[in-house]
Amino acid sequence: MSTDNRDSTIIAARARRDPGTAGTAKRSEVVRKAAELFDAAGYHNTGVADIAAAAGISKPTLYHYFASKDEILFWIHEDYMDELIARQEKRTHISISPSACLLELMADMLEMTETRPGVRVFHEHLRELRPDQQEHVRKKREVYQDMVETVIRDGIARDELRHLDPRLTALGLFGMVNWAYQWFKPAGPLRSREIAYLFWDMLLHGLGEDHSQT
């Protein structure tokens, strides 16, 4: 598929999803209900009829909003990345230290693990998307990774952080917070922000014994 054709499919999906204010709430509800079903039953075990029933609409009506199940999956990925990017973009306009910004970045990802349905399919089903959709999502993931690496580089420049490879450090950060979807329980003893603070402390200070009080 040519670049123009790939772009046109994404644009067409946007046009179906966002033709204006009318229908936007219903589209968002369909995505949310689908995400909940994907989490509960699995992506492959959930059909379009299941999604339509959960959203309180008919299958033909669902196809008015989305061309296919994989398009709904695409919007789960799209919305997830858009939210993370938007939160960090807002921080670029305020005064915040790099180390504090890292805490907020980790809190963002863990909070979305706690509160947003579809986090499992976001992490496990990128390959279910069409190649053009995968490319689009990967570009946004790269944008977000660049944001995190920029914060790390800034921290190194300010002598807040050790001179470690920014890319590997960012990947280590992602490994800590993204795997949480496998074990995090919203009803557990710790909230997502508490876990973010513990992970942030480990990232910045490691596991060595604290001798500051001796």
User: Domain with 154 in it: what CATH number?
Assistant: 1.10.357.10
What local confidence, expressed as pLDDT, does residue 1 receive? 52
Q: Quick check: is 26 in a domain?
A: yes
Judge whether 84 lies within some domain.
yes
pLDDT for res 3: 52
Q: What is the pLDDT of residue 26?
A: 87
Q: Residue 214 falls within a domain, yes or no?
A: no
Q: Is the pLDDT of residue 47 over 50?
A: yes
**pLDDT attached to residue 12:** 47
**Tens of pLDDT along 72-100?**
999 999 999 999 999 999 999 999 999 99
Residue 213 lies in a domain: no
Instruction: Average the pLDDT over 119-134 and give the result.
Output: 94
Residue 46 domain flag: yes
Q: pLDDT value at position 11?
A: 45
pLDDT per residue as tens digits for the range 143-159: 999 999 999 999 999 99
Whole-angstrom Cα distance, residue 18 to residue 200?
Answer: 37
Domain of 183 in residue numbering reads as 3-205
**Per-residue pLDDT at 24:** 82
> Is residue 117 domain-resident?
yes
The residue written with tokens 């050790």 in the block is 162
What's the pLDDT at 208?
79
| Mean pLDDT for the stretch of residues 111-128 | 94
Which amino acid would we find at residue 137? V
Does residue 210 fall inside a structural domain? no
Domain count, the chain: 1
The answer to whether residue 78 is domain-embedded is yes
User: Looking at per-residue confidence, does 161 or 16 come out higher?
Assistant: 161
Q: Report how far residue 106's alpha carbon sits from residue 192's, in angstroms, rounded to the nearest whole number.
A: 9
Query: How far is it, in rounded angstroms, from Cα 79 to Cα 18?
Result: 13
